[in-house]
Amino acid sequence: MHLESHSSVEVQGITADARQVRPGFVFVAIPGTQTDGHQYLPQACEAGAMAVVVEKRDLVPPSFAGVVLVVESTRAILGSLASQFYNNPSSQLFCFGVTGTNGKTSITYMLETILEKVRIPCGVLGTTGHHLGTEHWSTEVTTPGPVVLQQRLAEMKEAGARAVAMEVSSHALEQNRVDGVNFNTVIFTNLTQDHLDYHSSMEEYFHTKQRLFTEVLRRTNKNPHFAVVNIDDPWGARLRVDGYAGLWSYGKKKSADFCYRIVDMDFSRTDFELRTPFGFYYGSLPMCGEHNVANAIGAVAAAASGGVEVSTALEALARFPGVPGRLQTIENDKGLHVFVDYAHSPDALENVLRALGQVRKKIKSSGNIWTVFGCGGDRDKGKRPLMAQAAEKGSDFLVVTSDNPRTENPQVIVQEIVNGLSSQGHAENVFVEVDRKEALALVFKKAKPNDVILIAGKGHEDYQIVGTNKIHFSDVEIAKELLA
């Protein structure tokens, strides 16, 4: 990548963080919600920036002798600049983008499993981190910023990836993080209440998600390019897609291009029939839950858009190893069915509990369903009573506890959840224990053989955020320890 000044100068790096600027870097000044990157132009110039990209020319220090590029939106251009610097890695990879409130992580892992079957190394970027085979990179956000994202795509390509499956969050779309990514296929899973601490309404949340299927997909250099949409979801049914894109729908509706029907299930598997544009198939997923089958069908359709045979994709998913913290089974000798799941939205919790309830009914089990859950602090408070209602609807017993309280008082969060229960907590089947480890100890002490225990909300996370401190905490580790 070169920028022209008095001579052609090789760019050494690109960043929107003035603290990372080194001699030869391009600094992009982005106005943020908390601070404005233009405030740090003097620091970036002093650190050796050879060029700056700004919206406000008058804030560039008069003494700066490098290149100044003035644009309408620095945030909008950062992705394409980062892509150019890393030699446009997404153009050389088959790129899947998955968006929606729930199911993103599962679909990316399912795509990885399918592509492994046809010997196509596939990188995965999302909530649980970034990995390609056994090589792992850590991340603290679902979709990283544009520079880190393009760097990661380049690293994965260099490490042998031929495809990537990435989660695309609403924050990423709102903040232009995936601008500069050339997607082949984008997938919409569903939309339910979440992140309304960030988005002003569900309608705004939806329109942000839709940008992946219009603005972002329209800019891709891939031809053909595809959209795969869950039309069982009412938001998916009204989703607009770039007119030049191919479109496949999936769901239980008979009008879906990929239409499935559940035929059998237990706690460890779900069998289904599938009608597609390529014919009829029978499949089995080694997980319980109709929502997981829906995710699998979305992955099969997406893989088919890239030329993978449906039968091959289903064979791969019949041996799907699962996703960390997504209905993850905790083996034990107590006769308990224990699952750890990331469900932290009302819809996700309702889906998981519905799945467990359907299996219990199918196998005629007399066991009770226990749900241990909480809600995150400094996040959408409107979810708290809805989470309570979802848990109450699908459970026989509840243990309300802490999640990541952050800077809120955990007692207050728990009380707001309890206030959402029909009993307001005044019932023999509701237990309150703010300490999450003690809450797990309580449920294991009270549950009886054949009972089902869902530990919801944190899933794969191995930390808990209390105040501003991140402490080690893993539901999986603690459950195994207490059940040993």
Rounded to an integer, what is the distance from CA 477 to the centroid of its chain? 22
Q: Domains of the chain: which residue ranges?
A: 2-72, 88-317, 328-483
Q: Which residues are registered as beta bridge partners of 222?
A: none
- Torsion sign, CA atoms 354, 356, 357, 361: positive
- Which residue reads 């610097």 in tokens? 85
- Which residue reads 């029909």 in tokens? 422
- How is 260-312 classified by DSSP, letter by letter? EEEEEEETTEEEEEEEETTEEEEEEESS--HHHHHHHHHHHHHHHHTT--HHH
Cα–Cα dist 159/144, whole Å = 19
Reported residue count of the chain is 484
Residues 49-88 have pLDDT tens digits of 999 999 999 999 999 999 999 999 999 999 999 999 999 9
Residue 5: the pLDDT is 43
Topology alike, domains 2-72 and 88-317: no
Residue 6: the pLDDT is 40
Cβ(330)–Cβ(454) under 8 Å? no
Residue 199: the pLDDT is 46
Residue 2: the pLDDT is 45
Q: Which CATH number applies to 328-483?
A: 3.90.190.20
Q: Which CATH number applies to 2-72?
A: 3.40.1390.10
Residue 433: the pLDDT is 98
Residues 213-267 have pLDDT tens digits of 999 999 999 999 999 999 999 999 999 999 999 999 999 999 999 999 999 999 9
Low-confidence residues in the chain, pLDDT < 70: 1-9, 193-200
In degrees, rounded to 5, the angle at the alpha carbon of residue 254 between the alpha carbons of residues 251 and 260 is 45
Cα–Cα dist 153/84, whole Å = 12
Closest CA to 343 of 323, 363, 316, 319: 323
255: Cβ contacts below 8 Å, ≥ 6 apart = 231, 249
Return the CATH number of 88-317, one of 3.30.70.2740, 3.40.1190.10, 3.80.10.10, 3.30.70.20.
3.40.1190.10
In degrees, rounded to 5, the angle at the alpha carbon of residue 406 between the alpha carbons of residues 404 and 412 is 85
Residue 197: the pLDDT is 54
Compute CA distances 19 → 13, 37, 74, 191, whole Å: 13, 11, 18, 37
Q: Strand 226-230 to strand 246-251: parallel, antiparallel, or no bridges (unpaired)?
A: parallel
Cβ(305)–Cβ(223) under 8 Å? no
3-class SS at 75? helix
Cα–Cα dist 352/372, whole Å = 13
In degrees, rounded to 5, the angle at the alpha carbon of residue 334 between the alpha carbons of residues 331 and 339 is 40
Residue 139: the pLDDT is 82
